Amino acid sequence: MECINGLRDEIRDCLHEECGVFGVYNNNDELDVSRLTYYGLYSIQHRGQESCGIAVEDEDVIRCYKQMGLVCDVFNEERLASLKGQVAIGHVRYSTAGASNVLNAQPITVNYRDGMMALAHNGNLVNSEELRYKMGSGGSVFVAGNDTEIIVKILSKNLVSEATIEDAVKQTMRVLKGSYAIVLLLQGKLIGFRDPLGIRPLCLGKLKHSYILSSESCAFSVMGAELIRDVNPGEIVIIDDDGTRSVQTPTPGHSAYCIFEHVYFARPDSYIDGASVYRARENAGRMLAKEYPVDADLVIGAPDSALTAAIGYARESGIPYGHGLMRNRYVGRTFIQPTQEMRDAAVHMKFSALRNEIEGKRLVLVDDSIVRGTTTRVVVQMLKEAGAKEVHMRISSPPVMFPCHYGIDTATASQLIASRLSVEEICQMVGADSLRYLSLESLLKAPGIDGGFCSACFSGNYMVKNNE
Ligand code: SF4
């Protein structure tokens, strides 16, 4: 179920992507890099809505502006005009590690021995405490509470001790454990690197002679750029006047792409690790229909994130697809926080049932996930009050039972309803006539690619642990 933005953590009922990164290197194309970064961040705004920032390098000087708020609120013509240069990076953030304030907004800029650098990170380190302790014992001072500051400090040190930028980045990657997709602005170069398992996405695009890095390829179409390829797990891509150069660091030989990018987080018009997100969702819906058919009159999806899976379910089952729920697109960051007792009101503000379409019908309601179940319960009740005869819930992923340690803000294990209740109990709690989840085996096949996936939030099988 799509997030109701702006709700306090204790009543929020969704998974949250933590961040998105973007970078552009202008290679003699007379591009306005800050404006392109603005457009890029706008396109990946769904990956983080709390703060955003853009850093631009021009003749060894890095200028950065970052603030709490949406990209469209933080940047205007004047701000973008003050950020002129040849290379830019940008970031959108939703906080989990580190407080929600501008100190933790990114990109982070620092002075190191030979100049300035700016860095933006999507992901989460599982050994951040250990690294912070080690660096702190060596005299490093931390002002923000996030992992990115740790990465920047380690990199600054390695830039002094190592002979080349590549070696400094490699050395840094050697000690980081967890997930990271990073864009770095350093010595006039745009550099991107991705953790050895490729948990968080990062891709490379081209616009005329210039190159772009982005968390998602959906950012390329707005500027007429083309997707070249994904940055490989463990790869460092260095972009400068000579074009792109790649350095491959050691990997375990298998990937652990986040399967939830395909289920929910990424935009359906993105391609991630060679797979169309739209197609993956449609396939998941088709597989769900094969695994759990039901006699019904209409298939509807939970807007907007589950609509594609619902289309897949309808196509496979032959049951007509229609709209049964509308989403209020204007419920966002400015939403006045409802009290605990009034959280149902937040769901009613966000969703409403289309009585004409559903009255007297047996519905299949397809959703991508159930986190706490509180939103689902209100939505099922809403559909029944609007005249639905039956509501059969079909979920296009397995039960979310474990928290994510790799950059997604899940609830704690005890708040995840599937870690406490059986499927039958959840069905009763949400008031549905039946409830079925897609099997993990099918979900992992849905993107249609060979790569290995992380599925720890479903299976509890964490591929990177701090003690490894
Ligand atoms: S635990 Fe789940 S949400 Fe986190 S990276 Fe793995 S698949 Fe993605």
The ligand 1 atom at the shortest distance from the C-alpha of residue 400 is 2
Residue 453 alpha carbon, nearest atom of ligand 1: 7
Q: Ligand 1 center to residue 404 CA distance, Å?
A: 5
3-state SS track over the chain:
CCCCCCCCHHHCCCCEECEEEEEEECCCCCCCHHHHHHHHHHHCHHHCCCEEEEEEEECCEEEEEEEECCHHHHCCHHHHHCCCCCEEEEEEECCCCCCCCHHHCCCEEEEECCEEEEEEEEEEECCHHHHHHHHHHCCCCCCCCCHHHHHHHHHHHHHHHCCCHHHHHHHHHHHCCEEEEEEEEECCEEEEEECCCCCCCCEEEEECCEEEEECCCHHHHCCCCEEEEECCCCEEEEEECCEEEEEECCCCCCCCEEHHHHHHHCCCCCEECCEEHHHHHHHHHHHHHHHCCCCCCEEEECCCCCHHHHHHHHHHHCCCECCCEEECCCCCCCCCCCCHHHHHHHHHHHEEECHHHHCCCEEEEEECCCCCCHHHHHHHHHHHHCCCCEEEEEECCCCCCCCCCCCEECCCHHHCHHHHCCHHHHHHHHCCCEEEECCHHHHHHCCCCCCCEECHHHHCCCCCCCCC
Ligand 1, atom 8, residue with closest C-alpha: 258
Q: Which of 15, 261, 277, 404 gets mutated to test ligand 1 (max ligand atoms within 8 A of its CB)?
A: 404
Q: Residue of the nearest CA to atom 5 in ligand 1? A: 258
Task: Check if the beta carbon of residue 153 is closer than 8 Å to that of residue 112.
Answer: no
* From 259, 261, 401, 416, mutation site for ligand 1 pocket: most ligand atoms within 8 A of C-beta: 259
In the reported structure, the alpha carbon of residue 317 is separated from the centroid of ligand 1 by a whole-number distance in angstroms of 29
Q: Is 404 tagged catalytic?
A: no
Task: Give the N- to C-terminal CA distance of the chain in Å, as an integer.
Answer: 35
Q: How far apart are CA 437 and CA 416, in angstroms?
A: 15
How many Å lie between the centroid of ligand 1 and the Cα of residue 447? 15
CATH number of 17-255: 3.60.20.10
- 412-467 tens-digit pLDDT: 777 899 999 999 999 999 999 999 999 999 999 999 998 899 999 999 999 887 65
Per-residue pLDDT tens for 7-54?
A: 545 445 666 657 999 999 999 899 999 999 999 999 999 999 899 999
Say yes or no to pLDDT of 98 above 90.
no
Question: Which pTM value belongs to this model?
Answer: 0.92
Amino acid identity, position 241? D
CA of 75 to the centre of ligand 1 (A): 31
Q: Is the dihedral of CA 142, 147, 150, 156 positive or negative?
A: negative
Mean residue pLDDT of the chain comes to: 91
- pLDDT tens-place string over residues 256-269: 999 999 999 999 99
Instruction: Place 3 in a pLDDT band, splitting at 50, 70 and 90.
Output: low
Pocket of ligand 1 (CB under 6 A): 199, 258-260, 404, 406, 408, 454-457
- The residue contributing the CA closest to ligand 1 atom 4 is 404
Q: Which residue in 14, 19, 64, 454 is the catalytic one?
A: 19
Question: In DSSP terms, which residues pair with 390 in a beta bridge?
Answer: 362
For ligand 1, the distance from its centroid to the CA atom of residue 17, given in whole angstroms, is 10
CATH for 279-446?
3.40.50.2020
The atom of ligand 1 lying closest to the CA of 259 is 7
Of ligand 1's atoms, which has the minimum distance to the CA of residue 15? 3
Instruction: Give the domain ranges of the chain.
Output: 17-255, 279-446
CA of 8 to the centre of ligand 1 (A): 22
Lowest mean pLDDT among 132-136, 184-188, 249-253, 395-399: 132-136
**Position 87: which residue type?**
V
246 pairs with which residues across the strands? 237
pLDDT at 134 over 90: no
From 180, 197, 260, mutation site for ligand 1 pocket: most ligand atoms within 8 A of C-beta:
260
Q: Which two tokens stand for residue 362?
A: 């047996």
Measured from the CA of 200, which atom of ligand 1 is nearest? 5
Q: What percent of the chain has pLDDT over 90?
A: 76
